[in-house]
Structure 1
Amino acid sequence: MSAIFIRAVFDGDLMVRLIPIDDTDSVASVAEAIAHQAVGTMVFPQDRPIGVWHDENLLDPKDTVGAVGIAPMDVLRVAYV
């Protein structure tokens, strides 16, 4: 279990956010943490699932941060799918 910081951009938001996550977190929980910072303030809420992209690859929400190779200060793009 290791805490890291990643940079995240939610489509439609103007800010790049620094988000603390753990290497054992699921991609779905990372998406929720990022959405919590942007949805409802900078991005309109939508009734659709949220996807996370890392190195242009859409990640499986069930995978863990460590399993997909997310490293400290990597940039994740998050958007409604």
Structure 2
Amino acid sequence: MAMLPLTAAHKEDFVVLLVPVEDTDTIAQVAEKVAAHTVGVRVASRNAPLRIRCRGQVQPDHLTVAEVGLEPMDFVEVFYDE
């Protein structure tokens, strides 16, 4: 396991965050880690799944950070899948 920092933002937020994740975290776990800093703070909670877009593509929830090939300081965008 290796910790790496990602830059992240929620699509409905104006703040870019620095979020530490593990390379073994799934994309779904990364979305939850980002949402912990945005949902209920500056973004309204919704009854919809959170997704992640990086490098112009929506990533499957089951893949890990390492499988996607994310590197330190890569940018990810979290959004509600509606």
TM-score tier after normalising by the smaller chain length? over 0.9
**Residue 71 of structure 1 corresponds to which residue in structure 2?**
71
CA distance in 2, matches of 1:36, 1:70: 20
Q: Which amino acid aligns with 2:11?
A: D
Q: Which amino acid aligns with 2:76?
A: L
Runs ≥4 in structure 1, deviation > 6 angstroms?
none
Report the TM-score when normalising by structure 1. Answer: 0.98
Residue ranges of structure 1 left out of the alignment (5+ in a row): none
Residues 17-50 of structure 1 deviation map (CA, whole Å, 9 limit, x = unaligned)? 0000010111110000000100001000000001
Report the TM-score when normalising by structure 2. Answer: 0.97
Q: Shift in Å at residue 11 of structure 1?
A: 1.0
Q: Shift in Å at residue 12 of structure 1?
A: 1.2
Q: What SS class does the counterpart of residue 39 from structure 1 fall into?
A: coil
**Residue 15 of structure 1 corresponds to which residue in structure 2?**
15
Q: Shift in Å at residue 4 of structure 1?
A: 0.3
Q: Shift in Å at residue 14 of structure 1?
A: 1.0
CA distance in 2, matches of 1:58, 1:14: 20
Q: Which amino acid aligns with 1:72?
A: P
Q: Which amino acid aligns with 2:17?
A: R
Residue ranges of structure 2 left out of the alignment (5+ in a row): none
